[in-house]
Structure 1
């Protein structure tokens, strides 16, 4: 039952946001009483904490699987972006922004975990790209990896990028292209141009 509650919570939080969904909503969706939910989660904060951790672990495992394929590093970035967007349902409710606003302690913990995963993933991607001569060999890998993470976090700030003006999918695409154009060699830019064309065709 605990897993069912987490899975349904994840679905509702992603669609409607952490603030909007109540314990009553969750109980109604599952066809159970609130008492049953409280057996597993004493309050909504504990439920949000467990659900965000579950989402994080699911996405981290997916990113690891993609990274282990050792694909072209530029292609890998697009594959990871696609995987994350599918799992976060294009972030229609801007869950990370709401998490930061209403559950700051959970957000801070999650951000630290996300940084560790992304720092390893991006650093490995950059080093592999340099070896394959797709990325410039004079870039500072540690600086770029931290800048990339910081930019990804900023994209989810609705004060900077309101969802009525930008879809999360578009923001991610703009940012990835911006990132890659800054570090690619001429060889890398050829690959990037091909992938951008494929993306346009598949839209």
Structure 2
């Protein structure tokens, strides 16, 4: 039952946001009493915390699986983006923005964990791209990895990127292309253009 509650809560949070979904909503959706939910989760904050971390590890494991496929680094980044967006349901409910606004301590904890996981992943991606000649050989790997991560986090800031101006899926595409065009070689640019063109078909 505990896992069922966690999975349903995660699904509702992703679709409607942390603020909008109440314990009453969750109980109603599952056809159980609130008492049953509280027997497994002390309060809504604890439920949000577990749902968030559960999703984080699920996404981390999915990214590890994509990396293990050893695709070329440009294709790998597009696969990771597609996977993350599908698990976050294209950020319809602006979950990261809501997490930062309503659960700031949890957001900071999550960000630290994301840095640990993504930093290694990005550094590896950049180094492999340099080795096979699709990323420029004079890149400062640590700088590029960190600037990419900080940019990715900032996409969830609605003051910088209001939803009235930017569709979340398009925003992710713009950002990834912007990042890659700054670091690819002519050989890498050819691969990048092929991926972009195939995605537009």
TM-score, normalized by the shorter chain, greater than 0.5: yes
| Aligned counterpart, 1:93 | 93
Unaligned 5+ runs, structure 2: none
Question: What is the 5 A alignment of 1:18-167?
Answer: 18-167=18-167
| Aligned counterpart, 1:14 | 14
**Over 2 Å off, 4+ runs:** none
| Aligned counterpart, 2:186 | 186
CA distance in 2, matches of 1:168, 1:134: 28
CA-to-aligned-CA distance 1:160-191 (integer Å, 9 cap, x gap): 11122211111110000000000000000000
Judge which range, 155-164 or 68-77, deviates more.
155-164
CA distance in 2, matches of 1:80, 1:168: 16
CA-to-aligned-CA distance 1:137-163 (integer Å, 9 cap, x gap): 100000010000000000000111112
CA distance in 2, matches of 1:121, 1:163: 29
Unaligned 5+ runs, structure 1: none
CA-to-aligned-CA distance 1:38-92 (integer Å, 9 cap, x gap): 0111100000000000110110000000001110100000000000011000001
CA distance in 1, matches of 2:6, 2:114: 20
Length-normalised TM-score, structure 1: 0.98
- What secondary structure is seen at the aligned counterpart in 1 of 2:182? helix
CA distance in 2, matches of 1:105, 1:30: 29
CA distance in 2, matches of 1:87, 1:163: 20
